[in-house]
Structure 1
Amino acid sequence: MSRFPFVKASFPDPALTPRKIRTHLIDVQQRLRDRRAAIHPPQDDTDRADPAEELRLTERAHRRADTRAKRLHDDILRRSGLSHPNRDEREKLSVLRDGVGLVRIASEDRADELAAVLHAEMPWMAPATGHAWQAMRRSVREGWPGFRLPPVILDGPPGIGKTRWARRLGGLIGAASMVIDAMGESASFGVTGCQRGWGSARPGRVLELIMTDLTGNPIVVIDELDKAGSARSNRDQSYGLAEGLLPLLEPATAADWTCPYYRLGFDMSFVGWILLTNSLQPLPEPLLGRCTVLRLQAVDLSDLIGFAEREGRARALSDSSIASITEALAAVAPGAATRPSLRTGLRMLDRAADLEHRPMVI
């Protein structure tokens, strides 16, 4: 895994505190005073300074050292880019001192293998798998330091496994992943974080994931984006999730994105964004223009039966349980108003597993 300079800041020596700078300044002043005293020693008692005056001079020297030490420390932080975060926040950010790792695809052949596995497991998600496949091959072909998934919108009916597919992609390539429910977040706060002035200022979950996992190209899934609302700050400013995502979806602006909480620049250009919707109508045009839009169809009954068989074997279910599930799915009339979805199949698999593992009643 290659290393990647993620934060737009340098980290000075943590031991270089205002107190340590002050001590150094006092030591230098004392050595200079001792040197002057050695060169020009007092000739008699009349040349000696009054002890009270010497004390006052020492107090003034200490006050000047305090002021200068704070000014020097502030200047060090300003030049490093870390003047806005407080001491505790700088300590948290210090994990980024040596950069973060980037998950890489070893070769184009490996990209082909990963895409084949993903397609075999969820063939009805072929458009999405094709998008990820080409991104994997491009990352290798163009010599990128890590895998980069261009932002994509997966638009399709509920219950077809969009979230499951995104999680599986992250698992196959070895990248960290997270799912954010757009309806359960306060506007874009869960994604981008929120600055001071809002009710609960904090960094975004995506940045927290990167700082925890120390991987700069996680797969981030935004579920139900078309149902996201907006929130208002304590100053009555409105902020929506779709608008907050815009600078993160454009490579040029994502490479120098400023966190509203830390007020620091971060390179978010390798984050893989997968946005899930059931309808494109509520989404603003600028967001649509920054993403590849893939329209997905409902799961065919044959694909659903095949999925149930594969998943049943992966869960070590008995042949009779798997047969019961596939027979129940196959019995659905072709023209039925309500057709089973992937969620239906997963519930049936869960129920079968529960029945097989229930305790014996004596």
Structure 2
Amino acid sequence: MPKIRFILSKQPDPALEEAAMIKRLKEFYTDLQDKRQISDGIPQEERAAYNELWHYPQNELPKALEMRIRRWAQKIHRHHLQEVEPTRLSREDRAMLEGCRDGADIFDLRSAHHIDEIAAGLHVEFPWISEATTHVWRSLHHNLKAGMPGARFAPILLDGPPGIGKSAWARRLAQLLGTPDMIVDATSENASFGLVGSQRGWSNAGPGRLVSLMLMRQVANPLVIIDEIEKSGTPMSDKGRSFSLPNALLPLLDDLTASRWTCPYFQNQFDMSFINWVFTSNSQWGLPEPLLSRLRVVSVPSPTQEQINDLVLREAAKRQLSPLITAAITTALAGAFEVGHQINIRTVKRMLDSGLDQQDRPILH
């Protein structure tokens, strides 16, 4: 799995801490003395007699040598700190960053055939979301042909009625790509704090869910699902500052700014340009134009009766439902379509679960 440089700001190196440098210099001195003794041709059985003259345990070096080693260590550590950016991070915060010091993994595409298999799987399971599947398929092929690393596609907004499988499509896409996914419910997490974090000095200061996920999994291209973005709202602070989720997302959706995004909490720059974004909405009304201009908007229709029937047959087979119960569900759905009802995926899942309960119910004697 390839890696990219994820943390762009240079981090303090634990190996160049003063205590670590003192230990290494003492070990170097001891090893050097051993090599000098061997080069002097002293037989091994006679070396012990000379140890008292020049060889000391690491914690019992002469005082003058101890002071010289400490000064060297302090000088090396001081020069190192001049090369890194100023930081007020705690030991725990630095430990979080340590795992990505040498880069973060990116889930890659095996071949053009692999992309075709992903698209084919989505088309079979979600035929009514074919336009979004085609968009992802084309984006992945374009990036693969251009030699760009990682499974990455342009941000997309799925706009359509509730309960038609928009979020399920996004989660299934993450499974097929093999990348970690994260769902943000904009209805309950309508402020920017939860996703991108908050600055130090606030009582609830902390890293956001997005950076925390990437640091914990050490992955640079997760798939992030922002569910029902139109319901995010605009939370305000007591001082009148806005913490809108759409506004906080704007720099993360533009390649130029996302490639050098500064985390409010860590105050370090990260390369967030490999993240895959899927937004869902039930209506575009009220969404800010700067956000819409960064997204490929796809209008998702409700599934047709034929597509619903195919879904019922697939899910019934997974649940091992009897043909009798499956036929009863399809008949009931056909009657609902005839009288003009719009059937969504949630209704179908409830009917299938109810059918499974009926099938597993013990026979009463």
Q: What TM-score range do you get, normalising by the shorter chain?
A: 0.7 to 0.9
Other structure's SS at 2:94 match: helix
Other structure's SS at 1:294 match: strand
Shift of 1:208: 1.5
Match of 1:214 among 218, 225, 228: 218
Alignment CA distance shift 1:310-1:247 (3 Å): same
Structure 1 unaligned regions, length at least 5: 27-61
Shift of 1:82: 6.4
What is the aligned partner in structure 1 of residue 16 from structure 2?
A: 16
What is the aligned partner in structure 2 of residue 263 from structure 1?
A: 267
Aligned partners of 1:205 and 1:360: how far apart in 2? 49
What is the aligned partner in structure 1 of residue 7 from structure 2?
A: 7
What is the aligned partner in structure 2 of residue 346 from structure 1?
A: 349
8 Å CA contact 1:221–1:274 kept in 2: the answer is yes
Alignment CA distance shift 1:294-1:186 (3 Å): closer
8 Å CA contact 2:14–2:20 kept in 1: the answer is no
> What is the RMSD computed on CA atoms of the aligned residues?
3.0
Match of 2:167 among 150, 163, 166: 163
Aligned partners of 1:361 and 1:103: how far apart in 2? 53
Aligned partners of 1:191 and 1:329: how far apart in 2? 40
Instruction: Compute the TM-score of the two structures, normalised by the length of structure 2.
Output: 0.81
Shift of 1:212: 2.1
Alignment CA distance shift 1:233-1:90 (3 Å): farther
Alignment CA distance shift 1:74-1:7 (3 Å): same
Aligned partners of 1:241 and 1:297: how far apart in 2? 26
What does 1:165-204 correspond to in 2, within 5 Å?
165-204=169-208
Shift of 1:167: 0.3
8 Å CA contact 1:106–1:140 kept in 2: the answer is no
Alignment CA distance shift 1:350-1:77 (3 Å): farther
Q: Percent sequence identity over matched residues?
A: 40
Structure 2 unaligned regions, length at least 5: 27-65
What is the aligned partner in structure 1 of residue 155 from structure 2?
A: 151
Other structure's SS at 1:187 match: coil
What is the aligned partner in structure 2 of residue 57 from structure 1?
A: none
Instruction: Compute the TM-score of the two structures, normalised by the length of structure 1.
Output: 0.82
8 Å CA contact 1:107–1:137 kept in 2: the answer is no
Other structure's SS at 1:332 match: helix
Other structure's SS at 1:153 match: strand
Match of 1:278 among 275, 282, 300: 282
What is the aligned partner in structure 2 of residue 96 from structure 1?
A: 100
How many correspondences in the alignment? Answer: 330
8 Å CA contact 2:96–2:216 kept in 1: the answer is no
Paired AA for residue 195 in structure 1? Q
Q: Deviations over 1:239-260 (max 9, x none)?
A: 1000000000001110111111
The answer as to 2:344 corresponding to 1:328 is: no
8 Å CA contact 1:112–1:133 kept in 2: the answer is yes
